[in-house]
Every structure is written in structure tokens, then in C-alpha cells.
Chain A
Amino acid sequence: MERNRTIREQQEGGNRSGARVRRQGVGGWLSNYFARHLQTLFYALGQLSLKPFSTLMTVAVIGIALAMPTGLHVLLKNVQQVLSGWDGAAQLSLFLQQETRESDALTLADRLRGQQGIASVDYISREQAMSEFQRLSGFGEALSALEDNPLPPVLVVHPTLDQQGPERLNALREKLAAEPVVEIAQLDMQWVKRLYALMDIGKRGVWVLAAMFALGVLLVVGNTIRLAIQNRRDEIVIIKLIGGTDTFIRRPFLYTGFWYGLLGGLIAFTLIELALWFLSGPVNNLASLYSSEFRLTNIDLITVAALLSGGTLLGLFGSWLAVGRHLRAIEPT
């Protein structure tokens, strides 16, 4: 009889406190809602930490997959930086008229050296041009058969750094082409353009790689979550039997995917940092051999943010796909 009384009290007490819960209002409900999500978030992390080895395996696979495109991106950034230094090597070749005398050519060279926007001017005489051509072209014998030297004298103009950029260089070229002794003024930017074209291919390559590895991450997370769902089949059935909604059952799996993605992103970041550290010694060595101040640029904050959020989103999306496919199939019988 005494126990009976405690049951009745509990039954009524419960109803009273049920009313109290409702009286907490929207604010209370909302903070309760977030508290529950936070709890599930850390519950999912706790579940992962129970199996550290298999978690690490999965996260490492995701990390490597994320590190590939991100690493290539960082590499390209560095190449771009090297190239921006080489831009300064853009030069103008002024082919003078055949009959130009050496003294006139040198006078022009002197005058140009004094002009704004020009860093230096080199004079290549017809004879120098000839001997260089003979040496480099492999037509040495054939050329010596010629009676006349067909090559014109050349002035090689190096613009200052502030004159870089295609328009300014073109303007400079037109100005120099207007000089009376100049036959042709040619801008030697072909090789820079080619390098930039290569870089464009590289940038596309980053996206192709990123797309492929993103798909890989989705599949890895999806498959891992699928296995997790199968392992917890009994639990899912029980929760459904006592009134758990699909949303409630889905939540821990989604947060598991979230953690896989985020931890994978962190591993990718660590791998890239390690690779940069590993490469920095030889790169600095090489740069100093070219007497360059170039140093490997570290991964920038925006890329880190994109890597971590991208990884997290992929994890969430992968688990969302798996949960959507496999959770519905599990029903109590």
C-alpha cells in the first residue's frame, strides 16, 4: 500500500512538473533545445573516442583525401609567387635598321637609359648577334657561307618593375617603335604567357582533384556511417519502439559525420604543415642558389577556413546521405 502511494504521488507530481516545463516558455524551450544538441554533439565525439583506432583510420583517410587538393593549391600559390618575381624579366627587343651605325645605336641606348620606366638597356652589335646565333643555332657552317651578316643590331630594354602589366608594356613598346632607327620593337612575353597558361591548367587541376577527393570523402563517411547504423540496429529499433522520431535517431549519426569531417580537416592541415616544413629546407637552399629571397608561403587563413569548413560540410553531407538511405529501412517487427 505504501508503494502504491508513492506511485500515485509520482504520477501526480509528474503532471505538475509537466505543467512547469510548459510554463518555462519559448526561451526555456530554446535553451533546452540547444543543450540537447550540444549534448548529442559531445555524445557523438565520446562514441568516436571509444574506438580510437578505427576512428583514427577513417579520419586519416579523410585527411589525406582533403590534403591532396589543398596541398596542390598551396603549391600553386607558391609557384605563382615565384612567377610574380619573374614578371620583372619581361623585356623589349628593339631591332634596329640594318645600316644603323654603332655610335647611333649607343647614343639611343644612352638616351633610353635616362628615360622613366626603363631600368637598363643592353646593346647587341651585329657581330655579337651573329656569333651568338652561330653558336646557339647549329647553323654555324652554313652561316659562314653567307657574304653579308643578315642580322640587325639589337637593343634589349628592361623596363622597371612599375612598368609591368601588359598595357603599360605595350604602351612602352609603341613609344619605342616610333624611334626613327628602330625597325621592329618586340615584346618578349611569350614565355610568361605560356607559364600563366600552365598555371591556369594547374588551377583547374586543383578543382578536378578537389571534386574527385570530395566524392571520395563522401563515400568514406557514408560507408562508415552505414556500418555504424548497422552496428546499432537493435538500439535504433528500441528507440523507435519507445517513440523516438527519425530526427532524434538521425542526430547522433549526423554529428558523427560532422566530427569525421572536422577531424579529417585538421589532419589534412597537419599533413600540409608537415609537408611544407619538410620541403622548406631544400627550397630555401635552391632559392639562395638563385640568390632569391623566395621563401615557401604557408597555407593562408582563408584556405585553412575553407579546408575545415569544407571537410565538416562533406562529413555532414556524407552521413546525411547514408542516414537517409539506411535509417528508413530499420523498423521494429
Chain B
Amino acid sequence: MIRFSNVSKRYPGGHEALSDVSFHLAPGEMAFLTGHSGAGKSTLLKLMALIERPSAGQVIVNSQNLAKVSRRKIPFHRRNIGIIFQDHRLLFDRTVFDNVALPLVIAGYSRDEIGRRVRAALDKVGLLRKEKVYPITLSGGEQQRVGIARAVINKPPILLADEPTGNLDPELSREIMGIFEEFNRVGVTVLIASHDLVLIEQMKHRMLTLDQGRMVVGGEG
């Protein structure tokens, strides 16, 4: 589902964020991406979402070689990936419903279909009763769940999360991770970047560890 082959990323100025990273994630697999801050976790996720392009090597996501995805095709590639951000990235001038509906609006679904799917997704993350409120009135954990609902509304085969529990207390973190496991159980490939080692060691999933841009655990070659 996700394959990195000898991927390096060097930023202008010479800083090498990733060097010679290779790994493979099978369809339906769930894995954690760990490492110190600055180890290259975010860069790796950005390469998959085509926010950045690699300096060398090949990235294949959903059997698509990302080097062949032109600028115009990037939006359609991103629709196959649900991305969850540490800072939630919600639109604060729109209700919870409108935030979650946004990917469907972008993809041009009909109004009925949108209403049905948004309520199902909000039900899934336990926020059905909050659909009319604005995100600013929600707690950090609730905002993150809105972000998750938005990421999964399109039924993407892949979920990427960048420090999804970064600002949450341990109990809320476990709850959020539980939601990811539920998606994984229905076949979604999940990759979560996190440095919350205590939590992820309890969860018995595959670990990919980056250290100064090199994959020291869980990689290939």
C-alpha cells in the first residue's frame, strides 16, 4: 500500500531530513512512526501527501508512483489519503458539520449524501450531538475527533496522522488511538507519527523508528 525505496529528502540549505529510507506497509496494516522531534517523521508524511517531493528515491502510495503525479493531479491523490494533524487544522468560522462535510463538498457529492455521511462519521467519533456547534467551543480531544471524522468521511484507504495525541492527556490519547484501531480493523491502512512511546508500546503494532533521517527500526535494507 505504501512503499518507500531509498528515499532521501534534502531541503534547500543542505539539511537532510531523510536519508535512504526504505520500508513497506501492506494494505490493512497499522504502524507507528516514532523518533525524536526533527528525526524526519513529518517529512516522511509530507512526502506521502505530496506536500513535499523527495530529492531521491521512489515513493509509491496506493500503487501510484508519486513522481508521476502532476501538480494538477495532486488534489485527487490527496482524496485517497485521510490526514490528521496535531493542530487539527479545522475551519473556525464553520460548524462541526460543515468542517466534516468539506471533503465531500470538494468532491461534489449531493446534499443528501453529504448529510447522511457526515452524521454517520460524527456518530462514529461520538460527536453527533455537536454537529451545529463551532469548533472553538470544543475541547482539544473533541476537536481532534472532528479532524478524524473529516479525514475518514471520504472513506480513504489510507489514514495518516501526525502527532494526533500531541496535546492530549493520556486517557484521551488512548481513546483517540482506539478510534484509529477501529478503522484499521475494517481494512484501512493506518500510519501514525507519534513520540508518545509509553502509549504506543502498549498497543502492539508495528513500529518504524527514525533517527536523524535514517530508519533504524522497521525498515528494509
Q: Which residues of A contact B (CB under 8 A)?
A: 3-4, 6-8, 10-11, 13-15, 17, 21, 28, 32-33, 35-36, 234-235, 237-246, 248, 331-333
B150–A242 contact, CB under 8 A? yes
B110 adjacent to A244 (CB under 8 Å): no
Bound-state CA distance A237–B185 (Å) is 31
Segment of B56-64, B120-128, B198-206 in the binding face: B120-128
Are A239 and B102 in touch, CB under 8 angstroms?
A: yes
Which of B102, B110, B155 sits near A32, CB closer than 8 Å?
B110
**Secondary structure type dominating chain A contacts:** helix
Interface-centre pick from B49, B83, B91, B106 (highest chain A CB count, 10 A) = B106
Contact of A4 among B51, B109, B113, B185 (CB under 8 A): B185
Q: Is the CB of B103 within 8 A of A242?
A: yes
| Cβ 8 A contact of A239, one of B106, B109, B116, B120 | B106
List 9 additional A-B contacts (Cβ < 8 Å) besides A4-B185, A243-B107.
A11-B187, A32-B108, A36-B108, A238-B90, A242-B103, A242-B150, A243-B79, A246-B75, A332-B51
Report if A242-B108 is in contact (Cβ < 8 Å); known contacts: A21-B113, A332-B51. Answer: no
**A-B pairs with lowest CB-CB distance, top 5:** A243-B79, A243-B78, A245-B75, A10-B120, A244-B106
Given contacts A239-B106, A243-B76, A333-B51, are A6 and B123 in contact (CB under 8 A)? yes
Chain B residues packing against A (C-beta within 8 Å): 49, 51, 72, 75-79, 83, 89-91, 102-103, 105-111, 113, 116-117, 120-121, 123-124, 150-151, 154-155, 182-183, 185-187
A242 CA to B98 CA in the complex, in Å?
14
CA distance A6 to B121 in the complex (A): 10
Q: Out of A7, A21, A244, A331, which one reaches B186, CB within 8 Å?
A: A7
CA distance in complex: A8, B120 (Å): 11
A201–B109 Cα gap in the complex (Å)?
56
Q: How far is the CA of A63 from the CA of B74 in the complex (A)?
A: 40
Chain A residues whose C-beta falls within 8 Å of the C-beta of B123 in the assembled complex: 6
User: Which residue on chain A has the smallest CB distance to residue B91?
Assistant: A235
A230: min CB distance to chain B, Å: 15
* Known contacts A35-B111, A242-B150, A7 near B51 by CB under 8 Å: no
Contact of A248 among B72, B89, B106, B187 (CB under 8 A): B106
B89 with A238: CB separation less than 8 A:
yes
A14: chain B residues within 8 A (beta carbon): 117, 120, 155
Q: Which of B72, B75, B91 contacts A238 (CB 8 A)?
A: B91
Contact A242 B78 (CB under 8 A): yes
| CA of A240 to CA of B49, assembled, Å | 11
Are the CB atoms of A241 and B49 closer together than 8 Å? yes
